[in-house]
Amino acid sequence: MSGEITDNRGRGEASWHWPSIHPEGRKFALIAAAASLGAALLALETIAWPLAVLVLCILAFFRDPQRITPQDDKCIVAPADGLICLIQRVPPPRELVIDDGRGTAHLGEAPVTRISIFMSVFDVHINRAPVGGTVRRLVYIPGRFLNADLDKASEENERQHILIERADGVKIGFTQIAGLVARRIVPFVKPGDMLAVGQRVGLIRFGSRVDVYLPEGTEPRVLLGQKVIAGETVLAQLGEQLLIEGVSQ
């Protein structure tokens, strides 16, 4: 089904299938499987069975399902699966604002709306591009491993900033943040790469968060506490500002 065009009038085909496992997770699964087999051969069942369960958990964590991404130039889609845990007006990250001396694109200094998506260990951890365009900046910052749903995690945790510039010059910044359990941010892209909206850009191992910085004049279409799906859920539409209210039920 990969690459197939579907629409809201029934064109295309849809069927359920087992999600693939990202190569980044296969080595961990093989190590756990080998340890489980070794324990079983030594008749250490109390160790073998938990390790076998661990193999299944690793495979589930690194699952990489296909997603149907809206093809609308105005749409900014979710870069991560998870819970909308914060929506705030904040200054953009300094690393995406300052002049890097090479003349690359950067964000302005004015406060913007930040949408924070918290990924638990049960969510898919493959991150995707919120818009299509060129990667202008990719900045890795070492840091702490605080609980990722805390506001200060955006400035204190290990993180990686990515800035994408669309063909029309609109720039979207987002940040991958390592969390309390997450200890490794794995990028799939580099500066200069051309990305399609919804394309895989990286993953964060074992629980984390992704922040998205909306351009000025654009407000979220999602609600605090809402669950979103990477590459599918529309976070905002460029130039759209409206109040949307929700009810928890």
User: pLDDT (tens digit, 0 to 9) for every residue of the chain, 249 residues total?
Assistant: 567 888 888 888 888 888 899 888 888 899 999 999 998 888 888 899 999 999 999 899 889 999 999 999 999 999 999 999 999 999 999 999 998 777 788 899 999 999 999 998 889 999 999 999 999 999 998 866 555 555 555 566 788 999 999 999 999 999 999 866 545 788 899 999 999 999 999 988 766 899 999 999 999 999 999 999 999 999 999 999 988 888 888
Q: What is the pLDDT of residue 127?
A: 95
186 and 227: one domain?
A: yes
Same domain, 43 and 82: no
Global pTM reads 0.87
pLDDT of residue 150: 54
Query: Same domain for 50 and 121?
Result: no
Do 38 and 112 lie in one domain? The reply is no
Residue 144 is classified by DSSP as: B
CA atoms within 13 A on the CB side of 16: 0
Q: Which domain holds residue 157?
A: 75-237
Burial class of 237 by CB neighbour count within 10 A (0 to 12, 13 to 18, 19+) = middle
Q: Where would I find the beta strands (DSSP E) of 7-132?
A: 20-21, 63-64, 75-77, 82-90, 112-119, 126-128
137 and 38 inside one domain: no
Which of 33, 61, 89 is the C-terminal boundary of a domain?
A: 61
Any domain includes 246: no
Whether the CB-CB separation of 82 and 44 falls below 8 Å is answered with no
Number of structural domains the chain divides into: 2
Same domain, 36 and 90: no
Beta carbons within 10 angstroms of residue 104's beta carbon: 13
State the DSSP H helix or E strand holding residue 56, giving kind and residue range, or none if neither. helix 45-61
Q: Within a domain: residue 69? A: no
Same domain for 113 and 34:
no
Residues classed as catalytic: 208
Same domain, 52 and 106: no
Q: Decide if 11 is inside a domain.
A: no
Could you tell me if residue 1 is inside a domain?
Answer: no
Query: Could you tell me if 87 and 204 lie in one domain?
Result: yes
Q: Tell the burial category of 57 from Cβ atoms under 10 Å away from its Cβ (0-12, 13-18, 19+).
A: middle
Q: What pLDDT does 210 receive? A: 94
